[in-house]
Structure 1
């Protein structure tokens, strides 16, 4: 019987890229995007443009380039939705004898939404990053106001469908993992507040082929990795 999950097992994160690495050893459990690979000496497990979690302390070869990723959880989230579709054109002719025939151009459209309850956003939180994609944000710290201007970045989004499958504190090394990582543009943000209900916070996104560093989407099925404890 296959492993099943519940909706509250999933967590959503915005991913931040660290400094490009061209030498050194990868940290077990950290996710990386591959920017370049050595011609033959590379031990990186995926092609250029794809992400992977470091299962071992891999040593970069000359010519390898990777971007380490850090996670900022979207703590307001409850519902996570991800949808993929392909365009289909009706190609029916008389020779199809009354049965519809279709052709597809193979172009995949990916979109989704994250919905939940509003949390007054903390400084540098992922929720604040999303708000600033739609309106200038004024942050007052002891009388000094900083302004976060509106931007429209391509963000890296992680939907970890199995993060809390076994326990609320998160997975352990070797637990089954199912994770989506994709470059997205947030296309809408909605907040709502009614008597007798908790204020909502919802956003929609559309995926794009890659971001400015060539990072593409991927669906990961495997296990979680963490550094060994002495």
Structure 2
């Protein structure tokens, strides 16, 4: 039996992108890699036999168009494909009635300017929120490490909070400004800028061993920065 993607509503019709050649269980039509098939249990069906042959494929990407076309279509199916890279089923688009796509495109064209303005306002709002978060992160660095130079505190915050970086500053815990997450960002900064860590790991390719060798230097810098600020 094919393992369908998790998280889809149970009443959602799911169509898979064929990974290797197979035949429709009813009409025996050969489906090649890249074709679409609907499974009833472990039984593969071509779209015609699954009564989905009159639907048109709408690729993922335009959220508004997909939402409106799905709403307008009396029948629809979610199209998913197995990702070799991520080892999971991923959504590729939706099958909907052709007339629904036409209506949805007309609706999207009619309010495209308004939606663009809304996106622009949202982008500005996110930018302001990001600036405020970086400022708060910087302040928390100075609270935990009063003698950390202000320029380095700002650098630590900007680096840790960079978008799409996956760094500690982008985690949910850091966004709550939990001390441990802020401390991890400071440790990473000290490791790279105040020790020979980068040179050692480039030579040894041993992450754990390299960190062990510079641990005392990191601790010394942190202890110095944790001291009360000079009066």
With the length of structure 1 as denominator, give the TM-score of the two structures: 0.21
With the length of structure 2 as denominator, give the TM-score of the two structures: 0.21
Higher helix share: 2
Q: Higher relative CO (CA 8 A, sep ≥ 6), structure 1 or 2? A: 1
Higher strand share: 1
Larger of the two Rg values belongs to structure: 2
